[in-house]
Amino acid sequence: MRNFFKTLLRIAAGLAILGFGLFVMNVLISMKPEPQVIERPVAARAVRTTDVYPRTCFPTIPVEGRVESLYRLEIMTETTGVLAMSRGKEFREGTEYRAGEVLLSLDATEAEEQLKSQRGQFLQLLSNALADLEYDFEGSWSKWDRFAASVQVDRKLPALPDPKSDQERLFLANRGIISTYHAIRAAEERLEKYTIKAPFNGTLASANVRPGGLVRAGQVAGVLLGQDEFEVKTAVHARYLDTVEKGDGVQFKDEQGNLVAAGQVHRVSGNIDAMTQSASVFCRVRAIKGKEDAVRDGRFLTGEIKSAPIQQSYLLPSNLLMEDGSVYIVEEEKLKTQSVQLLFESRTEVIVQGLKPGTQLLDEVLATAFDGMPVVTEKSQTN
C-alpha cells in the first residue's frame, strides 16, 4: 500500500512540474513583441474603360434563310394545242417578261374558225326571229335590229339587250337565242386561254415546251418567278419571340457583308418547333437599289431583325456581363461590381438598365479581376 501512494505522489509531482513549465513558457512568449505585418502592395493594372450614357437601343436578332420569290407561277394551259412560233420573246429559261406580255401562245386557228361559224349561225338564228319580234313585241324590234347589225363573225359578240317583259324573254329562250349567245361567249373566253400573259414582272425559271411542240391541257409549261418582291423564311428561337413583332424592320447581307435587301417582318408562326424550340418568321423584302442581281430565288442570306426601341438603356458587348447579372465599373481607381437589369440578349450584345450616366465601365474581360482591384484606366471610345 505504501508503494502505491509513493507512485501517486511521483505522478502528481511530475504533472505539477510540467504545468509550471508550460505556464512559465507562455508568460515568456507573451512578453515577446509581435512582428509587424507589412501588406505587400498590389500593382495597379492598366485597363480600358468607356463612359456610358443612356440612349435609345434597338434589339437586333440575327436571322438567316433562303430567298423565295413572293410571286411564283406554274404556267399551266387549260387548252390543248401546238405552241406557236413567237414573234417576240422566246419561251426559254432566263427570259424576262413584264406584266401583260405574252408568255406563250398556242395555235388557235381551228378554234377561231369554229367560233366564226358559231357566230354566223347565231346571226342566222337572230335574223329569223326579227320578223316575229317586230310583230309580237312592238317597240323591241329596233333594239334587236341594231344588235343584229353589230354582230360580226370575226369579233366578240356585243352585250345582249335586256328583254322588256317575261314574254319577250321566254320568246328568245324558246328560239335558242339566249343559250346560243352564252355558248358563244364561253367559246370566246376559252379562245383567250390559248394565249397566256405574264401577271407580274418576272423571269422564266424553267421552260418545259418548245415552239412547234404539242402542249396538252393541264400540262406545266414552265415556272415564272417574280423579280421585285421576295420573302425570306427564317427560324427565330423562342426566347426572342417576345421581341419580334409584325412590321419590325429587317436587313439582309450577302457573304461579303454587303447590304443587299431590306424589308419588314410580315408573318410570325403561331407554333414552336418542339425539336429546335424555334418558330418560323417570314420577312417580305426588296433588293437594295443597285443590288437587284444579288437577290435571287434560292440564294442564302444572313441578316438581322431590328425590333421596337428601348428608351434610356445601354448597349453592351455580351462578354462584359457576368453570370450573376453584374458588370465591372471603375470608381476611385478600383474595380467594383455593379448589378444591372438585363432587358435583351443576343449572341454578341446585351441591352441593360441600372447604370448611372457617365459610369466608367470596364471595356475588356479580365480573368483575374476582383472587387477592389486597383487599376489605371485608359479610355475607349464613348458608348
pLDDT digits (tens, 9 = 90+) for 180-195: 999 999 999 999 999 8
Q: Residue 158: its pLDDT value, please?
A: 92
Q: How many C-beta atoms lie closer than 10 Å to residue 305's C-beta?
A: 24
Of 10-19, 78-87, 89-98, 286-295, give the lowest mean pLDDT range. 10-19
Residue-wise pLDDT tens digits, 172-227: 888 888 999 999 999 999 999 998 999 999 999 998 888 888 888 888 999 999 98
Q: Which residues contact 360 (CB under 8 A, 6 or more apart)?
A: 49, 50, 51, 329, 330, 331, 377
- Looking at 2.170.270.10, 2.40.30.170, 3.50.50.60, 1.20.1070.10, the CATH number of the domain 60-68+228-306 comes to 2.40.30.170
Residue 37: per-residue pLDDT? 56
The overall pTM is greater than 0.75: no
Q: Which of 296, 290, 268 minimizes the C-alpha distance to 280?
A: 268
Q: Looking at per-residue confidence, does 293 or 16 come out higher?
A: 293
Q: Tens of pLDDT along 335-357?
A: 899 999 998 888 788 999 999 99
Q: Is the pLDDT of residue 38 over 80?
A: no
SS3 state at 19: helix
**Right CATH for 47-57+310-379 from 2.70.70.10, 3.30.300.20, 2.40.420.20, 2.60.40.2470:** 2.40.420.20
Strand order in the sheet with 359-362: 334-339, 326-331, 359-362, 45-52, 375-379
For the chain, the domains span 47-57+310-379, 60-68+228-306, 72-100+201-226, 109-192
pLDDT at 300: 92
Q: Is the pLDDT of residue 3 over 70?
A: no
Mean pLDDT of 34-49: 70
Lowest mean pLDDT: which of 34-38, 105-109, 351-355? Answer: 34-38
pLDDT at 130: 84
CB-neighbour burial class of residue 302 (10 A; exposed 0-12, middle 13-18, buried 19+): middle
Mean pLDDT of the chain: 86
252, burial (CB in 10 Å: exposed 0-12, middle 13-18, buried 19+): buried
What confidence score (pLDDT) does residue 44 get? 77
Specify which residues 250 forms β-bridges with. Answer: 263, 305
Distance CA 358, CA 331 (A): 11
What pLDDT shows up at residue 301? 92
* Strand extents, DSSP E, 5-109: 45-52, 55-57, 60-69, 72-76, 81-82, 96-97, 102-105
**Distance between terminal CA atoms of the chain?**
95
**Packing angle of the helix pair 141-150, 109-136 (nearest 10 deg):** 160
Q: Do domains 47-57+310-379 and 60-68+228-306 have the same CATH topology?
A: no
C-alpha separations of 46 from 51, 320, 323 in Å: 16, 17, 24
Q: Answer yes or no: is pLDDT of 381 > 80.
A: no
Q: What is the pLDDT of residues 311-327, one digit of tens each?
A: 999 999 988 999 888 99
Residue from 110, 112, 204, 97 nearest 153 by CA: 112
